Structure 1
Amino acid sequence: MSATTDAIAHLADLGDSASLGVRLPDGRDALLVRVHGRVSAFENRCPHQGVPLEAEPDRFLEAGGELIQCAMHGALFLPEGGECVFGPCQGEHLRQISVSVDEGGGIHLAGE
């Protein structure tokens, strides 16, 4: 596969909100966030009740743009590893998905 066809997204897709919902090739819903220049990916599923994190499409970060937020109960997660630092699932983690960014800005599942 070429680098352009296997990308799940592109840095430009993250836009102003620095977050994006994507559907992975295996059918899972995921979220991408860019905080302090680092791109992280997680399954779009809160560990508290298994619900999607966003209330509006592609809105996964809290107002300050530093933490991932679950719209259902306000839980806050660190973008570095998905640990819940506030809310009903404190201490639990989002399921992280390994991604890499190529020189052209394409975001790929790691290992592909």
Structure 2
Amino acid sequence: MTTLPRFTARNCHLSWRDWAGEQEILPSGDTEMVRLRLTRMGRTHSPYYRICAMDSRSARDSRAIEYLGQYDPCNKDEEKQINVNVERAQYWISVGAQPSETVASILKKAGVDPTPGKKA
């Protein structure tokens, strides 16, 4: 009978299949899916959101790949509600990042076409 490795901070992400040696092998060309989405910031009852590029499997408020701007729904001035780095948002969309529904509507207001893929 084989013994399982000790539970440490380095291997806490492993499932029981990985521990038993039945590790699932991904194809070598597999890349992570990047999404443009919001992370919540601010205080209770007064939120603002950062628009960021993140791995689709990560949690809402986890580390982002890149921050693209911010959205402040509590600001009365509609021009100051949305602050987006348009150039970087267009770059991420051109390389295939999928915006969430909310981010797509925010990008439309900022003047960015939210459909993924290269533009002709």
**TM-score of the alignment, normalized to the shorter chain, above 0.5:** no
Bucket of the pairwise TM-score, normalised by the shorter protein: under 0.3
Q: Which has the higher strand share?
A: 1
Normalised by the length of structure 2, the TM-score is 0.25
Normalised by the length of structure 1, the TM-score is 0.26
User: Larger RCO: Structure 1 or Structure 2 (Cα < 8 Å, ≥ 6 residues apart)?
Assistant: 1
Indicate the structure (1 or 2) with the bigger Cα radius of gyration: 2
Q: Which has the higher helix share?
A: 2
